Amino acid sequence: MKKKILAAVLTACMLTSVAACGSSSDGGKKDSGSEDLEKITFVLDWTPNTNHTGLYVAKEKGYFEKEGLDVEIVQPPEDGADALVASGKAQFGVSFQDSMAPGVAGDNALPNTAVAALIQHNTSGIISRKGEGMERPKGLEGKKYATWDAPIEKAMMQNVVEKDGGDFSKVELIPSTVTDEVSALKSKSVDAIWIFYAWAGVATEVADLETDYFAFKDINPVFDYYTPVVIANNDFLEEKPDTAKAFLQALKQGYEDAIADPDEAASILLEASPELDEELVKASQEYLKDQYKADVKQWGYIDPARWNAFYGWLNENGLSEAELPENAGFSNDYLPE
């Protein structure tokens, strides 16, 4: 049950294709003295994209080496980064607060902790063709929405539609087969798609496709949860807290460089992953430079009130098999100042 929920919600968290499981990326040049460095494995959530740019910048610029670390970046297995980090085969990875929920408490608890926010606010929402009445959730009535049939996803959709005065039962839910949002909208095979704007939304701009869009957090502030986040293995955190802090110090430098010079950061990501579309990467990087830290001074900070608000909503709506305790699943203790 847990794996099905986790896989389904993970699918909702980023609309890019999963690469071959277990493959790795150097993401930068190997140092000849890397055998003297402490080995760290970092597992992505999907294929490389601009959510991950700071990681590649930190590797390329030698920030990890400066902290005594040799970081290997790997693609996730079929059951996601959470499982690989929980197994101890990776010390760090990328996850999302919503998809972490099934593993935070109860019999299915995973030994993982979110230790940094990669983006400060939830940039996901619903995109549609411009001028067809879906700029607000109520406008989804009678329209085709591509669903992953995940409990949290559908509960969020119902909440925003009803909060906007709509009838969720009138929304036509069709199984999502979307791999290219631009093509799906242009072909009218679907009317509305859940996206993360930094990638799929920017892609529609690059393609000159006019769209309407609303963000979940703008309809209900409880949906301003953390997505994506860096997770770490709990045993590793307990045994090597200084190494964890050193890793996050280097990662912080990578993301702050991406904020300061998004064009250079985009070039570093493209060098590591040349299969990516250059125009999209550069446009997405420009968008995200203002999102990585947004309104906080400390990179990676997780606001306990916002974290707890979302998990409290899951508890109240019966969307967690086990009660999610307050402040469960995250820590700011390893963040650099």
Beta carbons of 289 and 259 less than 8 angstroms apart: yes
- Beta-sheet pairing, 38-43 with 24-25: unpaired
Q: How far apart are CA 23 and CA 73, in angstroms?
A: 9
Query: What is the enclosing helix (H) or strand (E) of 199?
Result: none
Phi, psi dihedrals of residue 114, rounded to the nearest 5°: -75, 125
State the Cα–Cα distance between residues 137 and 152, nearest whole angstrom: 17
In contact, 298 and 337? CB cutoff 8 Å: yes
Q: Report pTM.
A: 0.89
pLDDT in single tens digits along all 337 residues of the chain: 333 334 433 333 433 333 333 334 444 444 445 569 999 999 999 999 999 999 999 999 999 999 999 999 999 998 889 999 999 999 999 999 999 999 999 998 999 999 999 999 999 999 999 999 999 999 999 999 999 999 999 999 999 999 999 999 999 999 999 999 999 999 999 999 999 999 999 999 999 999 999 999 999 999 999 999 999 999 999 999 999 999 999 999 999 999 999 999 999 999 999 999 999 999 999 999 999 999 999 999 999 999 999 999 999 999 999 999 999 999 999 999 8
Contact 91, 85 (CB under 8 A): yes
Q: What is the DSSP letter of 330?
A: B
